[in-house]
């Protein structure tokens, strides 16, 4: 796992992957600013408070609030936007490291968008369900962290591994392979979750997560080949 993580981290600095990271950052920033501008325009056009003085400031307050919220959830936005380039990320890594075993099943754009949104929605649901256990973790130091990383690691590991595996296998076969190596995929997902909690570094989570799962998939493929 550590070797795969180090290889993945090293390759993020490669020009082709660095370009994808920059594109993801720029698109995310533009998306947030566009939402803020849209809020400013709509609130200015349809004054909601009915008082001219207050309605003058409302667009600025609303627009600024949207931008602030956008930056609070910036890592999640990066995860969704980065997911749009998942096919490109996988192709780049496989062409560089696994030229004899490049997946031919391209993941449709809509599937990539769905995967990104699914990650955020299900992660939110899982963390809400885990709140009682987080509370229990306050009585047992460290338990809440273990629960957080394992719960989210399962989700992220499942989604990202199957996204990569489906470039090579039918959906059912990709799911079976993930279940066969359940523990390793879980640990890999937990490691990706850990990276996603580190400020600034978490901006590269899509590249690290997908890249990590590409190497993990090919490791499993090699083991099965033997």
Query: In whole angstroms, what is the distance from residue 164 CA to residue 168 CA?
Result: 8
Output the pLDDT for position 85.
Answer: 80
Query: In whole angstroms, what is the distance from residue 50 CA to residue 30 CA?
Result: 31
CA 159, 211, 192, 222 dihedral sign is: positive
pTM of the model: 0.73
Q: Which of 38-42, 54-58, 94-98, 117-121 has the lowest mean pLDDT?
A: 54-58
Instruction: Write the CB contacts of 155 (distance below 8 Å, at least 6 apart in sequence).
Output: 119, 122, 123, 126, 189
- Would you say residue 87 has pLDDT above 60? yes
Query: In whole angstroms, what is the distance from residue 104 CA to residue 161 CA?
Result: 16
Is residue 144 within 8 A of residue 134, CB to CB? The reply is yes
Q: Which of 36-40, 173-177, 218-222 has the lowest mean pLDDT?
A: 36-40
In terms of residues, how long is the chain? 226
Output the pLDDT for position 59.
Answer: 66
Angstrom distances, CA of residue 48 to CA of 35, 52, 53: 18, 10, 12
Domain boundaries defined on the chain? 2-225
Phi, psi torsion values for 199, nearest 5 degrees: -55, 145
Output the pLDDT for position 137.
Answer: 62
Task: State pLDDT tens for residues 120-178.
Answer: 676 667 667 766 766 666 666 677 778 778 887 888 888 889 888 988 988 899 899 99
Instruction: Write the CB contacts of 150 (distance below 8 Å, at least 6 apart in sequence).
Output: 186, 190
Instruction: Write the CB contacts of 17 (distance below 8 Å, at least 6 apart in sequence).
Output: 11, 89, 92, 93, 207, 211
Around Cβ 75, how many Cβ atoms within 10 Å? Answer: 19
- Would you say residue 13 has pLDDT above 90? no
Mean pLDDT across the chain: 77
Q: What average pLDDT score do residues 183-205 get?
A: 84
Give the three-state DSSP class for 161: helix
Q: What average pLDDT score do residues 55-62 get?
A: 66
- Would you say residue 39 has pLDDT above 80? no
- Report which of 174, 195, 191 is spatially closest to residue 183, judged by C-alpha positions: 191
């Amino acid at each position: 796992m550590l070797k795969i993580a180090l290889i993945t981290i090293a390759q993020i600095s490669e020009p082709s992957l660095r370009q994808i990271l920059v594109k993801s950052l720029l698109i995310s920033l533009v998306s947030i600013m566009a939402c803020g501008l849209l809020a400013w325009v709509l609130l200015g056009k349809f004054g909601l408070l009915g008082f001219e003085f207050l309605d003058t400031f409302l667009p600025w307050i609303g627009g600024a609030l949207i931008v602030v919220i956008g930056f609070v959830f910036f890592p999640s936005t990066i995860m969704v936007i980065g997911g749009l380039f998942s096919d490109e990320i996988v192709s780049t890594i496989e062409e560089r490291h696994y030229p004899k075993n490049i997946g031919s099943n391209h993941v449709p754009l809509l599937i990539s968008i769905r995967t990104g949104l699914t990650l955020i929605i299900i992660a939110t649901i899982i963390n809400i369900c885990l709140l009682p256990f987080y509370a229990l973790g306050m009585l047992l130091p460290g338990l809440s962290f273990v629960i957080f990383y394992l719960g989210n690691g399962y989700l992220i590991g499942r989604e990202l591994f199957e996204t990569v595996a489906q470039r090579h296998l039918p959906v059912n076969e990709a799911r079976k392979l993930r279940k066969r190596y359940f523990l390793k995929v879980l640990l890999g997902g937990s490691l990706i979750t850990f990276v996603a909690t580190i400020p600034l570094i978490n901006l590269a989570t899509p590249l690290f997560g997908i890249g990590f799962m590409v190497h993990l998939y090919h490791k499993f493929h090699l083991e099965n080949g033997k």
